[in-house]
């Protein structure tokens, strides 16, 4: 039963509906999908020492107070990734979880500087991830693309060196993004490197307005020429910005459980998702770093639907937004949208 047939929907029906419909995930840091069990398995395989003696003690450390307290543990977790097979195993585990949640298209962020700083070659990272993407298409029917992120706590010079190292793999990248510690590292710090990325034909996204002010969202749009804003929830503090985002249909890749775990909101019942939709914005649901924040796509959908009382029509809107916002060709977008429309008939 859907709202389209009956005009009503119960919260339980809306949750079930959210689980089963096809969707795209556009904000997933693949290193944030490393579950503690896989961190331990890879540490053993690669002879890497961990600061935590057991899976349980590592998981117990996942009590974050803000973005930085998470990033410290997230970068430590990624230190077990050394070989192509490690990047493959990590991404393949993600795709299997995504498939279980009816994700049919995914755009994966990766953080090469976390790896190249430890002596891991860019090619090792990209080849491992690409192989998982190809297997996800062949075995699970999930299409996917890679978005390389620059770490904003590092210099623009470092970002330029990273871009240079990625040039041999240009064909495997749909775009570039900007992540890591937001406050104190405004988008304008990366003006020149993003200009070069645009010349190379890379699509542009940037984290902005997660912990940082609305001004960082303006900078991401006007200076970096970002086509999507990752998080962006603080736009609501600036009505002129909201009007711009709505008029230009700039998508926001929102991550409700991340916002809860990193104390961007104190309670999911206070989450701005419904206000973003009510303002006519192209908001989408995503998991960000699902191994650290307590859930993959469907957990994000279901808990948001429950906390905010979203209806089936709003759930459909969120799924449509995810395909509208994805960096695919017009014909691939029609194919994805058709799968959604067929599932709600």
Contact set with Zn ion (CB under 5 A) = 288
List the strands of the sheet with 103-110, edge to edge.
Answer: 23-29, 103-110, 143-151, 173-179, 203-208, 228-231, 252-254, 283-285
Q: Is 145 in the site for ligand HPA (CB under 6 A)?
A: no
For ligand HPA, the closer of residues 13 and 299 by Cβ is 299
For ligand HPA, the closer of residues 16 and 188 by Cβ is 188
> What 8-state DSSP symbol labels residue 136?
I
Q: How far is the CB of 323 from ligand HPA (least distance, A)?
A: 22
Cβ atoms 297, 103 nearer than 8 A: yes
> What 8-state DSSP symbol labels residue 101?
T
Q: Which residue in 31, 210, 211, 312 is the catalytic one?
A: 210
Within residues 65-124, the interface with ligand HPA by CB under 6 A covers 67, 74
Cβ atoms 240, 269 nearer than 8 A: no
Q: Is 288 in the site for ligand HPA (CB under 6 A)?
A: yes
Q: Is 207 in the site for ligand HPA (CB under 6 A)?
A: yes
Cβ-based neighbours of 133, under 8 Å, separated by 6 or more: 91, 95, 108, 144, 145, 146
Q: Is 278 helix (H, G, I), strand (E, B) or coil?
A: helix
Q: Is 32 in the site for ligand HPA (CB under 6 A)?
A: yes
- Please name which of 226, 291, 303 lies closest in space to residue 260, comparing C-alpha atoms: 303
Cα-only R_g, the chain: 19
Residue 210 is among the residues annotated as catalytic for this protein: yes
Q: How far is the CB of 293 from ligand HPA (least distance, A)?
A: 9
Q: How far is the CB of 119 from ligand HPA (least distance, A)?
A: 21
For Zn ion, the closer of residues 86 and 179 by Cβ is 179
Instruction: Name the residue whose CB lies closest to ligand HPA.
Output: 179
Q: Is 65 helix (H, G, I), strand (E, B) or coil?
A: coil
Q: Is 50 helix (H, G, I), strand (E, B) or coil?
A: coil
Pick from 289, 296, 325, 336 the residue near ligand HPA by CB under 6 A: 289
| Residue ranges that bind ligand HPA, judged by CB under 6 A | 29, 32, 67, 74, 179-180, 207, 210, 258, 288-289
Q: Point out the residues that are catalytic.
A: 210
């Amino acid at each position: 039963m859907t709202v389209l047939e009956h005009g009503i929907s119960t919260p339980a029906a809306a949750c079930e509906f959210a689980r089963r419909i096809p969707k795209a995930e556009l904000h997933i840091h693949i290193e944030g999908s490393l579950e503690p069990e896989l961190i331990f398995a890879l540490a053993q395989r690669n002879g890497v020492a961990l600061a935590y003696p057991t899976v349980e003690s590592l998981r117990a450390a996942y009590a974050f107070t803000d973005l930085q307290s998470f990033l410290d543990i997230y970068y430590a977790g990624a230190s077990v990734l050394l070989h192509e097979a490690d990047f493959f195993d990590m991404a393949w585990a993600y795709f299997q979880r995504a498939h279980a949640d009816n994700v049919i298209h995914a755009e994966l962020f990766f953080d090469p500087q976390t790896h190249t700083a430890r002596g891991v070659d860019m090619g090792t990272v990209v080849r491992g991830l690409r192989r998982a993407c190809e297997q996800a298409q062949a075995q699970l029917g999930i299409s996917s693309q890679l978005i390389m992120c620059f770490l904003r706590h590092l210099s623009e010079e470092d970002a330029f060196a990273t871009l240079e190292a990625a040039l041999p793999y240009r064909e495997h990248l749909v775009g570039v993004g900007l992540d890591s510690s937001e406050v104190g590292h405004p988008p304008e710090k990366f003006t020149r490197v993003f200009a070069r990325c645009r010349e190379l034909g890379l699509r542009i996204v940037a984290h902005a307005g997660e912990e940082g002010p609305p001004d960082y969202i303006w900078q991401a749009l006007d200076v970096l020429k970002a086509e999507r804003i990752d998080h962006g929830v603080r736009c609501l503090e600036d009505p002129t910005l909201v009007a711009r985002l709505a008029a230009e249909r700039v998508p926001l890749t929102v991550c409700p459980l991340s916002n809860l775990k990193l104390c961007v909101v104190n309670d999911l019942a206070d989450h701005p998702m419904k206000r973003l939709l009510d303002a006519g914005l192209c908001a989408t649901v995503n998991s960000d770093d699902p191994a650290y924040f307590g859930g993959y796509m469907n957990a994000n959908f279901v808990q948001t639907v429950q906390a905010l009382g979203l209806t089936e029509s709003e759930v459909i809107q969120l799924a449509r937004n995810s395909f509208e916002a994805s960096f695919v060709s017009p014909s691939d977008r029609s194919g994805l949208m058709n799968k959604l429309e067929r599932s709600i008939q």
